[in-house]
Amino acid sequence: MSDLIHEGPKDPNKPPVPGEEKPTTERERMKKVYTYVAILFTVAFLLILWTFFMNQRSINEIKDGNTALQSTLQQNDSLEAHIAELEEQLANSEEDKKALDETVGLQSNQLRALDWLLEIENAYNTGDLDAAKDNIRSFEETGTVEFLPKEPLRTGITGDDAPSPAARYQSIVDKLFPDGVK
């Protein structure tokens, strides 16, 4: 191969042309190589340092996210426990309501039965035996007789228990219908 440009020897007395380099010695070349290597190592070190700080930042963000997640999970557990407690209270309230509804129904039927007994006793005590008999027959047909209280509702003036409503009703029925209600 031949050189494309052939230059002749340079004249040492001739002033250097701007942009033209001086010949370098082996020592200067090694110095430049060491400088380049030092710059490359410095850049590599800075990149590693930058990567380390970015990694630390990512780790801190992950820790913060983990802390927030733990807090959310604890709050979720607390809310689930509160929900379970409220569901239990609701179930207890529903049971109480059902018991109260049954009590109200029973008391309503007892009140209706006592009202029938009052009408029957009024007719019997005024001597209107036909009306008393008709009321007894109607009372028996409604099936409300079962709801007459079998225990005395009050204590009599003498200190003894007054007869129960069921006993009072049965005594009137026995007097008006000796052979049973027909």
Instruction: Check if the beta carbon of residue 139 is closer than 8 Å to that of residue 168.
Output: no
Per-residue pLDDT tens over the stretch 69-79: 999 999 999 99
Query: Is residue 15 situated within a structural domain?
Result: no
**5 belongs to a structural domain:** no
In a domain, 181, yes or no: no
Reported confidence tier of residue 14, pLDDT bands at 50, 70, 90? low
Which residues, other chains included, contact 139 with Cβ-Cβ below 8 Å and sequence gap of 6+?
Answer: 113, 116, 117, 120, 145
| Residue 166 counted as domain residue | yes
pLDDT band at 4 (very low <50, low <70, confident <90, very high): low
**Which pTM was predicted?**
0.53
What is the count of structural domains for the chain? 1
Residue 91 included in any domain: yes
| Mean pLDDT (the chain, rounded) | 86
182 belongs to a structural domain = no
Residue 21 lies in a domain: no
For residue 121, give its domain range.
26-176
Indicate whether 14 belongs to any domain: no
pLDDT digits 0-9 by tens, 36-46: 999 999 999 99
Residues sharing a CB contact under 8 Å with residue 182, sequence separation 6 or more, in sequence order: none
Q: What is the pLDDT of residue 1?
A: 47
